[in-house]
A and B are shown apart, each in its own frame.
Chain A
């Protein structure tokens, strides 16, 4: 162990916290009304004049078709402004996806300006975008994945970044200062990186999943019936099914591919009846499941949920060694509706500072793409247990791995229909 172990919470609750999701509303009705209230603003004829509604077709970014979004100079804040005084910086994020002590440290650093930070949480980014589009929430910052960028830029929901406030961008992996989804990082900086693989209980499953010819096959193996789970996110779960079927285009718009995915999803359901949940970080260590599709950050967090006396070495994680699996990154963006753009820029820079990024890593379990953090160091510094070394995200995977992209509306509807069918448990 190093001299200075990273600060840790005793019982971390990672992003996409279940209780938060459950608390959304007691019944479907109120949730529907909430959504309705949020979207009642726009009407079919409103065109692109009101913020949050667009009539133009969507530009979809992908590694093979990088996009540089246009920047209107008027939207940029001027250089060298002083931070807003007595302001409350409003962050909009997943539950427990930012370290409270890191937020406190920011308040302390800018105490001269009497800064307060308030964190509001959402359960999934679709819900978040709906709320942001009402334009009234006043959030300054948002932590989405890159699959919403085109929508947010085309509806002018996010503010271009004035780079002069963010010198710490040099601390992060260079590909993120010119990413394919936001050439020239006009709107985004990276927050975390993670992979999606398979987590399992090595003490309950004797087979070594890693060396198998096609490790994804385990979700179709009746030996694991009712012992497995997939992530409750349509694209993440269905992309795994696509990869198992040998389809490397996990954003396919071809009806034949989507049909293959549907057949395989229903086959998986018939053979192993997996749970569909996002609480594997709790359920796997608690022994409620033995095998689960998992995010690397969640398997890292799972060690804190093990029953007393059970050591982290019962946990195992697989992600393809050649990086040919799902890799993702989340972002920090500044919302145009926020009232504290200067503070928001300072906060972005603060979070890219190496020390703060590592402090945050110790709390959330999701790795920041910091240059100075080597894969070996994540283990030697105790951020990731040794047996979960496979959960450490490597920089080169971001050139070989598969990315979940936005889909054109028609394909998006087709994918969602398959997912809807799967979740209805027919």
Chain B
């Protein structure tokens, strides 16, 4: 610690300057919009058009819309509660499934693929070239009653398979999320596993650990930061996702918090509520983020 402080005292004025573009970017595109969201949430509503009237002076803020949303989360009138709980379950399950798929793939690519790893990596990035929405629309076609999935399950017409995949099934929405976000999981995992020092693994082997033990006692613990980063990176966009449920289900029984935001944001008189949901998601996602930053920092200090 002491050594750190001493070096920071001699810092050249150039270094803070380098942070300026990033800081300006953050201020313009994150802090300022966030303040507008606050001004909307705690602002008023036009009496005729019922559009939001932002109030920028915090002294005049009115918490009616904000508390309105929160009073509908739990209790007898808590009709937002189930959707929020559902979001947590969907995002949690989907992240776990993503991890189950992504970890072996990333591990293989980083450690075992040998000379094919560049090609493999390129292939893994390939889904990024197609927009998320287009990939979901493709699934709509595949999952239709007369679509390829049912035809494949019928083993070439041997059985009659008439599963209505798209009629509002939680499983389909969760699998849609997994499919959509798994590439975002693979890349940070790959980066983390690729950085593992080979001599650590060699040391473990030299000390008598078998392949599996090396993996369990060295690789896995060392990859925890990468796993946390990867899970955060996929959870955050999943929390805001609404079109996976809209496209693959369209039933209110699979609505997530993203759907609540999308439904309210352009509804006359409810834009402030959409802002309240945005704040809720922000707070919920900030907590693990802070935890991650803290753990990453203490790790940096320890090493």
The answer to whether A and B interact is: yes
Q: Residues of A at under 8 Å CB distance from B?
A: 19, 22-23, 26-29, 31-33, 35-36, 39-40, 42-44, 52-58, 124, 126-127, 129-130, 133, 151, 154-155, 226-227, 229, 234, 269, 273-277, 279, 286-289, 307, 409, 412-413, 416, 420-426
Enumerate the 10 nearest inter-chain pairs by beta-carbon distance, A residue then B residue, closest first: A28-B261, A425-B252, A426-B79, A275-B250, A27-B240, A226-B167, A425-B253, A277-B250, A421-B79, A425-B255
Alpha-carbon separation in the docked complex, A422 to B271 (Å): 18
* Contact status A27-B51, CB under 8 Å: no
Identify which of B80-88, B101-109, B182-190 touches chain A.
B80-88
Q: Which residues of B contact A277 (CB under 8 A)?
A: 246, 250
- The answer, yes or no, to whether B33 is at the interface (CB within 8 Å) is yes
Q: Which residues of A contact B40 (CB under 8 A)?
A: 36
* Contact status B237-A40, CB under 8 Å: no
Q: Which residues of B contact A426 (CB under 8 A)?
A: 78-83
* Contact status A423-B255, CB under 8 Å: yes
* Contact status B266-A124, CB under 8 Å: yes
- The answer, yes or no, to whether B214 is at the interface (CB within 8 Å) is no
Q: Which residues of A contact B268 (CB under 8 A)?
A: 126, 412, 416
* Contact status A39-B263, CB under 8 Å: no
Size of the B side of the interface (Cβ < 8 Å), in residues, is 65
Alpha-carbon separation in the docked complex, A227 to B167 (Å): 7
A127 to chain B, nearest CB (A): 5
* Contact status A286-B269, CB under 8 Å: no
Known: A124-B266, A151-B48. A28 touches B240 (CB 8 A): yes
Alpha-carbon separation in the docked complex, A127 to B40 (Å): 17
Alpha-carbon separation in the docked complex, A363 to B11 (Å): 69
* Contact status B265-A27, CB under 8 Å: no
B125 to chain A, nearest CB (A): 19
Q: Which residues of A contact B274 (CB under 8 A)?
A: 28, 32
Q: Which of B45-103 contact A (CB under 8 A)?
A: 46-55, 78-83, 86
Q: Which residues of A contact B164 (CB under 8 A)?
A: 226-227, 288
Q: From B44, which residue of chain A is reached at the shortest CB distance?
A: A44
- The answer, yes or no, to whether B219 is at the interface (CB within 8 Å) is no
Q: Which residues of B contact A36 (CB under 8 A)?
A: 33, 36-37, 40, 52, 54, 271
* Contact status A130-B51, CB under 8 Å: yes
* Contact status A276-B82, CB under 8 Å: no
* Contact status B36-A22, CB under 8 Å: no
Known: A409-B50, A416-B267. A29 touches B168 (CB 8 A): no
Q: Which residues of A contact B254 (CB under 8 A)?
A: 425
Alpha-carbon separation in the docked complex, A36 to B32 (Å): 12
- The answer, yes or no, to whether B251 is at the interface (CB within 8 Å) is yes
Number of contacts between A and B (CB, 8 Å)?
Answer: 179
For B247, give its contact among A22, A124, A289 (CB under 8 Å).
A22
* Contact status A28-B265, CB under 8 Å: yes
Alpha-carbon separation in the docked complex, A348 to B298 (Å): 69
Alpha-carbon separation in the docked complex, A416 to B263 (Å): 11
- The answer, yes or no, to whether B174 is at the interface (CB within 8 Å) is no
- The answer, yes or no, to whether B264 is at the interface (CB within 8 Å) is yes
* Contact status A26-B278, CB under 8 Å: no
What would be 22 A-B contacts, judged by CB atoms less than 8 Å apart? A31-B262, A32-B265, A32-B278, A36-B33, A44-B44, A44-B53, A54-B48, A124-B266, A133-B49, A155-B49, A286-B145, A286-B146, A288-B164, A307-B146, A409-B47, A412-B50, A413-B50, A416-B267, A420-B264, A423-B252, A425-B82, A426-B80
* Contact status B167-A286, CB under 8 Å: no
Alpha-carbon separation in the docked complex, A206 to B164 (Å): 19
A356 to chain B, nearest CB (A): 32
For B133, give its contact among A23, A52, A54, A409 (CB under 8 Å).
A23
- The answer, yes or no, to whether B260 is at the interface (CB within 8 Å) is yes
B69 to chain A, nearest CB (A): 10
Alpha-carbon separation in the docked complex, A424 to B270 (Å): 14
Q: From A426, which residue of chain B is reached at the shortest CB distance?
A: B79
- The answer, yes or no, to whether B139 is at the interface (CB within 8 Å) is no
Q: Which of B137, B168, B252 has the most CB of A within 10 A?
A: B252
Known: A31-B265, A277-B250, A425-B255. A151 touches B49 (CB 8 A): yes
Q: Which of A42, A43, A226, A424 has the most CB of B within 10 A?
A: A424
* Contact status A129-B79, CB under 8 Å: no
Q: Which residues of B contact A412 (CB under 8 A)?
A: 50, 268-269
* Contact status B252-A276, CB under 8 Å: yes
* Contact status B243-A422, CB under 8 Å: no
A248 to chain B, nearest CB (A): 25
A241 to chain B, nearest CB (A): 14
- The answer, yes or no, to whether B192 is at the interface (CB within 8 Å) is no
Alpha-carbon separation in the docked complex, A147 to B157 (Å): 51
- The answer, yes or no, to whether B177 is at the interface (CB within 8 Å) is no
What per-residue 1/0 map shows which CB atoms of B120-141 lie under 8 Å from chain A?
0000000000001100010000
Alpha-carbon separation in the docked complex, A311 to B144 (Å): 19
6 more A-B contacts (CB under 8 A) besides A33-B36, A126-B266, A130-B51? A29-B261, A31-B262, A32-B274, A35-B265, A42-B51, A424-B82
* Contact status A287-B258, CB under 8 Å: no
